[in-house]
Structure 1
Amino acid sequence: MPLPRIGLAVIGAGRMGRSHAQLIAAGAPELRIVAIGDVDGRAARHLADEIGAAAFADPLAAVSAPGVDAVLVAVSSVHHREVVEAAASAGRDILCEKPLALDLADTDAILAAVDRAGVRLQVGFMRRHDPDHVRAHARIVAGELGRLLLFTSRQYDVDPPPPAVLDPRTGGGIMLDMGTHEFDSARFLMGSEITEVQATGSVQLFPEVAASDDVDTAVVNLKFASGAIGSIELSRRVAFGEDVRTEVHGTAASAFIGGLPIASGSAIGWEGGIRWDASPPSTPRFAAAYTDQARAFARSIQCDEPVSPSGADGRAAFLVAAAADRAIRGGGTVRVAELESDRPAERLRPSPAVRRPATSGSART
């Protein structure tokens, strides 16, 4: 007997919301988009007409619309808390883009609201559902790499970020906007918590970020509870194209995810050579990951199972990002546990007051 399709409201009709909706409509049969919500009513209507859903200029009205079982939150990060709390109060399961929030207080408030309501919260770290990362993770869990020693990754963007993303007051800064993907990937693949970070950064591309005490290029060194170490490189822009690559090295073998020229795929290397598990070249980078994360979210609801990555995973990545941000500004080694004990109530950088969820035109992952 086929499982019932999950009625979904997509909150945010900007770049990320539109991309999510299009991928889900084309490749996630477990989900049926029934509502699109955005304060930009015209954008909501345009996307709703394309998908075949109802449009709402009030995002919170879309959350409680008839036929909605779950909510995908793709507004700017600064507005996540209000939408997630409304969805939780309405009894909707939630798939929320990363980061959950721009400070620990809002992050914990989101987790508390979800816990009170007894609903699911999946965080949009889509690499956990990316076929290349899934294959590499399976090899690591099977023990093919032996004892893990070293993690390295790079994330270089090609498109200049929209102003609201570049502004740390609304986008969270380079560590929350970009780094959280790498921090979650590191935890996922290494199977160990990040305990310490060192970081350095500079302003080389977008001078305006200096006014907000942020950087556009950064390197972060990691230490894991297991004793393994790692490094992450971040850049807001490189000329040749988006470059996302990850390596995990162990005592018996190495795993490689991604490669040049901007290819997807994963590989395993050991004595005697490297075997490449390439994804179909016709699949855009991470398109399958976004589709598969939505399908996994739906199946968790249908089968009454936990989601992954969870809200706790989102919180863990936030703490590492906050530690890295502190390391860039203060230098030296920062223990992630310090962020927990400090319980900072403020955002990584001051945020403007907001009243309603804004359009997600500048939201990105």
Structure 2
Amino acid sequence: MINFGIIGCGGMGRHHAKSLQAIEGARVLACADAEAGAAHELAQACNIPEACDDYRHLLDHEDIDGVFVCTPTFTHREIVVAAAQAGKQVFCEKPLALTVADCQAMLGACEAAGVQLMVGFVRRFDSHWGKVRELVRGGAVGRPVVWRQCNAGSSPKSPWYLYKDQGAGPLMDGAVHTYDFARHIYGDAAAVWADMTRLRRDRTAWDTGTAAIRFRSGDDLVLSWSWGLPAGVGGGSILDVLGPDGVLLFTTPPDRLPAGCPPEEYGGISIVREGGATQVAPFRKNNMFADMVRAYVNALTDGQPVPIPGEHGLKATEIACAVFASSEGRKCVELC
């Protein structure tokens, strides 16, 4: 039996607590949140024996083997370093940290303590995006490719997401999933061009921006993202992969799925080639959050490396920081 503590009892803390409940051989012994009410609410909802308002009390619990750090990004370094020094295995939500230096400090603390650090890049376990990766790497539309992701809306409800020194906005907190998954497809990034602006004047983070990232493979990622719109307002969206032989569309109308693929259980990627010839590549839908947590627990149980080690969090933060440096310096930023 592996015993866990949950630090941060908001949305992600609840997600992970519920996932752990469904895994034989895993148990949540305690939860902590600076808002005591949130901790007690999660404890009651998930039958967690102990709840407190100070994560350090949880780390003093000798029976806890590992922790899930689900707090705002600007708190990650302090908590992860303390957890490692307490000898706990660490799962940390994304982004790992807002700066490369903080990421390095977290990795160093875990290495010094002999514990593993995993980052919550849940898209690595998404069968939808996984099918896109399979198609790109299999040459479905040729190479090189350009992955385009464009979306716009209002910001998350918690204000810290749009303060520069707390959440740093969508090109850090939201796009970090895409930076990581692009690395998962292409390999390491080579250079970044970006430009950002601020539509909301009551926050300090850049809430709107565009970034073009060239990877060493010759493939590109192009992002345009905004959290600067009024509540309830959304812009248009693009999510596709362009290649010399066609395009991958991330969605397929349910009535175009192949026979034997009911839309309740399957989605599809549309592959459109010359002349409009269209093929649908189906995938079985999954609960990526539950699958990620299960893979993490299995790795710890079997004494194996965790699926997404902290180094991947560092690499994604390096790209995010290069995006900010490119915009603020009005220049291309090359990555080593």
Pair 241,29 (structure 1): closer, same or farther in 2 beyond 3 Å: farther
Contact 1:245 1:259 in 2 (8 A): no
2:16 maps to 1:20: yes
Asked if the contact 1:175–1:322 (Cα under 8 Å) also holds between the matched residues in 2, the reply is no
Q: Which has the higher contact order (CA 8 A, sep 6+)?
A: 1
Deviation at 1:304, TM superposition (A): 2.0
Q: What are the within-5 Å matches in structure 2 for residues 164-179 of structure 1? A: 164-179=160-175
Structure 1 residues 6, 242: closer, same or farther in 2, change over 3 A?
A: farther
Give the conservation status (yes or no) of the 8 Å contact 1:158–1:242.
no
* TM-score, normalised via structure 1 length: 0.78
Q: Structure 1 CA distance, aligned partners of 2:251 and 2:2?
A: 33
Residue in 2 aligned with 1:187?
183
Matches within 5 A, 1:275-286: 275-277=280-282
Q: CA offset at residue 179 of structure 1?
A: 2.2
- SS of the residue 1:108 aligns to: helix
Take 1:81 and 1:119, find their aligned partners in 2: how far apart are those partners? 15
2:85–2:113: 8 Å Cα contact kept in structure 1? yes
State the partner residue of 2:260. none
Q: Deviations over 1:314-349 (max 9, x none)?
A: 111111111111122221211133xxxxxxxxxxxx
The answer as to 2:307 corresponding to 1:311 is: no
Is 1:125 aligned to residue 121 of structure 2?
A: yes
Which amino acid letter does the alignment assign opposite residue 93 of structure 2? Answer: E
Structure 1 residue 80, shift from structure 2 partner: 0.9
Which stretches in structure 2 are left out of the alignment for 5+ residues? Answer: 255-263
Between 1:132-141 and 1:117-126, the stretch displaced more is 132-141
Report the residue type matching 2:271 in the other structure.
G
Aligned ranges 1:288-299 → 2 under 5 Å:
288-299=287-298
Counterpart mapping for 1:126-145 below 5 A: 126-145=122-141
Confirm or deny: 8 A CA contact 1:136 1:266 kept in the other structure.
Answer: no
What is the identity percentage for the equivalent residue pairs of Structure 1 and Structure 2?
Answer: 28
In the TM superposition, what whole-angstrom CA distance separates every residue of 1:223-245 from its partner, at most 9, and x where no partner exists? 11112222012111664669986
Distance (Å, rounded) in 2 between the aligned partners of 1:279 and 1:247? 19
| CA distance 1:277–1:158, change in 2 (3 Å) | farther
Structure 2 distance, partners of 1:184, 1:201, is 20
- Decide whether aligned partners of structure 1 residues 242 and 316 sit closer, same or farther in structure 2, where only a CA change above 3 A counts: farther
Contact 2:143 2:219 in 1 (8 A): no
Could you tell me which amino acid in structure 2 is paired with residue 207 of structure 1? R
Deviation readout 1:189-228 (Å, 9 max, x if unpaired): 2x22111111122223x2223xx3x322211111111122
Determine the structure 1 residue equivalent to 2:38. 43
Instruction: Give the CA RMSD over aligned residues.
Output: 2.8
Secondary structure of 1:208 counterpart: coil
- The code of the aligned residue for 2:318 comes to L
- Secondary structure in 2 matching 1:234: strand
Q: Out of 325-334 and 57-66, give the one that drifted further.
A: 57-66
Residue 104 of structure 1 is matched in structure 2 by 100
- Describe how 1:194-213 pairs up with structure 2 within 5 A: 194-204=189-199, 206-209=200-203, 212=204
The amino acid that maps onto 1:318 is T
Alpha carbons 2:155, 2:162 under 8 Å: kept: no
In the aligned structure 2, how far is the partner of 1:240 from the partner of 1:279? Answer: 31
* SS of alignment partner, residue 324 of structure 1: helix
The residue identity in structure 2 corresponding to 1:232 is L
- Aligned twin of 1:235: 226
Q: Secondary structure at the match of 2:129?
A: helix
Q: Mind listing any 5+ residue stretches in structure 1 that lack a counterpart? A: 338-365
CA distance, structure 2, for counterparts of residue 160 and residue 77 of structure 1: 14
Partner of 2:330: 331
Residues 68-96 of structure 1: per-residue CA shift (max 9 Å, x gap): 22110011111111211122122222110
Q: Provide the C-alpha distance between the structure 1 equivalents of 2:171 and 2:56, rounded to a whole number of angstroms.
A: 29
Partner of 2:257: none
Write the deviation string for residues 84-118 of structure 1: whole angstroms up to 9, x where unpaired: 11221222221101122222221111010111122
What residue is the counterpart of 1:80 in the other structure?
76
User: Given residue 225 of structure 1, which amino acid in structure 2 is its aligned partner?
Assistant: R
Counterpart residue type for residue 57 of structure 1: D
CA distance in 2, matches of 1:28, 1:161: 31
